[in-house]
A and B are shown apart, each in its own frame.
Chain A
Amino acid sequence: GIQVEQSPPDLILQEGANSTLRCNFSDSVNNLQWFHQNPWGQLINLFYIPSGTKQNGRLSATTVATERYSLLYISSSQTTDSGVYFCAVILNQAGTALIFGKGTTLSVSS
């Protein structure tokens, strides 16, 4: 079955808007990371967050491990935020490598 599910699959925003991206996972995790894949294809680390809440500038993330989901918040979006956002987890019962969701494609227009 699906182990990492992200929603929405696509998101279109005007510059300045806020957004919330969601990641559901099928089992308990010992690692969860959020990545941004920019238009040049580079995977950029945003957060390492198997539990709790972290903030970095306009971005913040919360993982509720007991309920098996994580949220990525983007505030005051900018055109440079465009790209694909991936959630990736290491499930406790499924080895040692990150398993990726299918991503949320974000397009921010000016």
Chain B
Amino acid sequence: DAGVIQSPRHEVTEMGQEVTLRCKPISGHDYLFWYRQTMMRGLELLIYFNNNVPIDDSGMPEDRFSAKMPNASFSTLKIQPSEPRDSAVYFCASSLVPGLGDTEAFFGQGTRLTVV
């Protein structure tokens, strides 16, 4: 398997524009996670899905953020409208059932978002 695949790797956009980040999890993984990394807050969980269903979105910072998982092999994180404070690296990760045996999470290479 190619691992978790994210696109784009880098995104520069102007304040107010819509941004869509994409993720393809490892085939067969039941869980998909979106994280955001900033200098101030470190790596923080935004939302996660189990079998394509959002389970916990308490980490989504505002209504400007939304995430979907239309099928087992694709998820999107959308920011509309984007603001400069959204600038960060966004990671997607996937795993089998967490905490059940050897079920480590694997991360994609991240999308570095810059909002100017």
Seen from chain A, the residues whose Cβ lies within 8 Å of a Cβ on chain B are 30-31, 33, 35, 41-43, 45, 48, 86, 88, 90, 95-103
Contact = CB atoms under 8 A, between A and B. Distances in A.
B60 interface: no
B104 A45 contact: yes
Contacts of A41: 89, 109-110, 112
Interface string B55-68: 11000000000000
B42 A100 contact: yes
Given A33-B104, A41-B89, A95-B56, A86 B109 contact: no
Interface on chain A toward B: helix, strand, loop, or mixed SS? strand
A45 B106 CA distance: 7
Given A45-B104, A86-B43, A98-B45, 9 more contacts: A31-B104, A41-B112, A45-B107, A96-B31, A96-B98, A97-B33, A98-B98, A100-B43, A103-B42
Interface on chain B toward A: helix, strand, loop, or mixed SS? strand
Contacts of A98: 33, 45, 93, 98, 105
Nearest to A47: B104
B110 A42 contact: yes
B82 to A, nearest CB: 20
B99 interface: yes
B68 to A, nearest CB: 18
Given A48-B102, A96-B48, A43 B107 contact: yes
